[in-house]
Amino acid sequence: MKLLIPLIALLLFSCKKDDCSSDVKTLDSEDVTVVVGWPINLKTEYISTTVTNKWSGPNNWKTTTTEGIPEVKVINEANFSHTGSYSSDSYTYGDCLAQTKKINVHVIAPPHAPCSIDMNTAKISSPFTYEANYSQITHYIEGNNFVVKAQNGLLETLTVKFPTNGQEPKPGIQRAYVEFTSNQTPYYQYQLDDEDVIYLQKINNQLIISFCNAIFFSFGDVETNVLISTEIVVP
């Protein structure tokens, strides 16, 4: 009798593949676009802590996450060879397949801002349009920010602060704190709208910053806005 009880328990709680449900959930496929040099992080749908997720992808890449963890890092810095189809198969107790997902990853070159403008210049509309030629461009670390400052003599200054722990920002589409000051009479200060983005490229080992028709809001006593398009090559 003592041997019979453990045997019954084993029969009741063991799970064979023949006992697996045929009702496997297939999640909608997903398209993910990643810029060269950026990490590839993928995610499937969470089920429970008892699930094991088996991942596979191009270049014979395979990995497994346990305890139901739905996220996985493919690589820290992507290149074009990481483009392709990735899959996640989620298994419950007894190696029963419960869920599958396909993710199509597209690795692209860093994009340029969708406008054409000369290097180290800015087109400013406030409300009339004029151009500023940056004669002095510098970069430095300020706290946790990587700062780029472009100056048109003593007339205008464009300051871009990237919150990247003091590291040069990666190419791609970024957000940053950007301030534009005009030292012409009267004195104006403007700040980039939070919704606007900045485009970064790395060409010949030089960082290129650009944005198009970005809205800058004034702060201070003067209530006026300006539109600025620019391209800055960081030395």
* Nearest to 208, CA basis, from 171, 174, 158: 171
* Residues of the chain above pLDDT 70, percent: 88
Distance in angstroms between the alpha carbons of the first and the last residue of the chain? 83
In this prediction, residue 112 carries a pLDDT of: 85
Phi, psi of 49 (to 5 degrees): -75, -10
Phi, psi of 194 (to 5 degrees): -60, -25
Beta bridge mates, 32: 105
pLDDT digits (tens, 9 = 90+) for 186-225: 667 889 988 888 999 988 899 999 999 999 988 766 667 8
pLDDT digits (tens, 9 = 90+) for 89-129: 999 987 899 999 999 999 999 888 888 889 999 998 876 78
Residue 6 has pLDDT above 50, yes or no: no
Identify the three-state secondary structure at position 100.
Answer: strand
**All residues at 6 or more sequence positions from 185 whose CB lies less than 8 Å from its CB, including other chains:** none
* Nearest to 54, CA basis, from 96, 107, 106, 104: 96
Phi-psi sector, 84: left (phi>0), alpha (psi -120 to 50), beta: left
pLDDT digits (tens, 9 = 90+) for 17-53: 557 877 899 999 999 999 988 899 999 999 999 999 9
Instruction: Judge whether 152 and 137 are in contact, CB under 8 Å.
Output: no
